[in-house]
Amino acid sequence: MERKRLPDYLKRGIVDTEKTKLVRSILKNKCLNTVCEAARCPNKAECYAKNTATFLILGNICTRNCRFCNISGGVPEPPDRTEPFKVAQAIKELGLKYAVITSVTRDDLPLQGADMFAQVIVESKKLVPDIKIEVLTPDFEGIDDLIDIVVDAKPDVFNHNIETVQRLYPKARPLAKYERSLSFLKHIKERNPEMITKSGLMVGLGETFDELEQTFKDLNSAGCDIVTVGQYMQPSKRHLEVEKYYTQDEFETLKKLAKNAGINQIVASGLVRSSYKAFETFLDS
C-alpha cells in the first residue's frame, strides 16, 4: 500500500531560537532526556518558548515495543538515582512554570519507576515551590500500590494515556490492556478524588467515530477530567502505517463527541500531543 502523504496542515518547519538552544544546553549538561526530542514532537519549540518542557526519565530505552512509538525498545540501563535532583535543577535553571514528567516503561524494575516519579515531584517542588508538575506514567502493570506511590507524591495532574480504541490494542499496544488503563485512571480518583486526571489518544490507526465515542464514554466513567486527541504520524516505515489523516472539521466533531460523553476538557487537533498546551489546560481546569 502506498504510504499516505502528510497533509500541509500537519507540517511544521524546524524552529531554533535562543530558548530552544538554552533548553538543549541545560539538558545536555545534566545528561537529561526529553520526550520532546526522543519522540520527535513537532511542538517542542512552541512549548520551550512558553516555559514548558516534558522530561523523559529512567533512560530512553523502553521494555515494551508499541508499534506506534518512536522510542526504542530493548534492555535499558540501570536508572540514574541522581536523576530526580538533576530534573529539579533543570526546572529551576530553565525558569519553568510547568513541567511534565514522563518515562519509558520499566517493567524490569521492582517498583517499575513509580518511586522515581515520586522523587522527581518531591525534589522539584522542594527546589521550586511554585512549579506545577504533571506526570505521564506507564501503566505499572495495573498494580495499585505503585500507582499510589505517585498519587501520594501529589502531582498537580496525573496523566495516563489510553492511546487508542479497544479493538486496536492487539495491533498497536500488544503488551498493554485497554481495561487495565481505564482501571488505572479510576484508581487515581479513588485514592485522591481531588486529583486532576488526564488521558490521551491518537487517531488515524483505523478506528471509527463510534469507537472513539465509546472510548470517551469509558474515560468519563473512569473519572478522567482532561483528554487530548492528536493525529498519529508514522515515525518510520517500520511503524504502523497511517490509515487516515483527520481534517480539522473532524477534530471539531471529536470535541463534540467528547463533550457529549461528559469529558470536562478536550484538546483535539492534528498536532496535539499529550503535553501540548498542558499549562494552559491546567489553568482552565
CATH number of the domain at 249, please. Answer: 3.20.20.70
Confidence of residue 138 (pLDDT cuts 50, 70, 90): very high
| pLDDT at residue 251 tops 80 | yes
Whether residue 223 is contained in a domain is answered as yes
Q: In whole angstroms, give the CA distance from residue 199 to residue 125.
A: 23
- Residue where the block lists cell 483527520: 246
Kindly calculate the radius of gyration of the chain based on its CA atoms and give it in whole angstroms. 18
| pLDDT at residue 109 tops 70 | yes
Q: At residue 52, what is the residue type?
A: T
In the three-class reduction of DSSP (H, G, I as helix; E, B as strand; rest coil), residue 30 is classed as coil
Q: What are phi and psi of 276, to 5 degrees?
A: -65, 130
Give me the mean pLDDT over the 48-61 stretch.
78
Which residue range is the domain that position 269 belongs to? 15-284
Q: How many domains does the chain have?
A: 1
Instruction: Give the range among 38-52, 107-121, 248-262 with minimum mean pLDDT.
Output: 38-52
Whether residue 68 is contained in a domain is answered as yes
Q: Is the dihedral of CA 11, 268, 230, 209 positive or negative?
A: negative
* Cell, residue 150: 505517585
| pLDDT at residue 2 tops 60 | no
Looking at residue 73, its pLDDT comes to 74
Whole-prediction pTM: 0.89
Please write the tens of the pLDDT for every residue from 189-224: 999 999 999 999 999 999 999 999 999 999 999 999
| pLDDT at residue 28 tops 60 | yes
Q: In whole angstroms, give the CA distance from residue 178 to residue 215.
A: 10
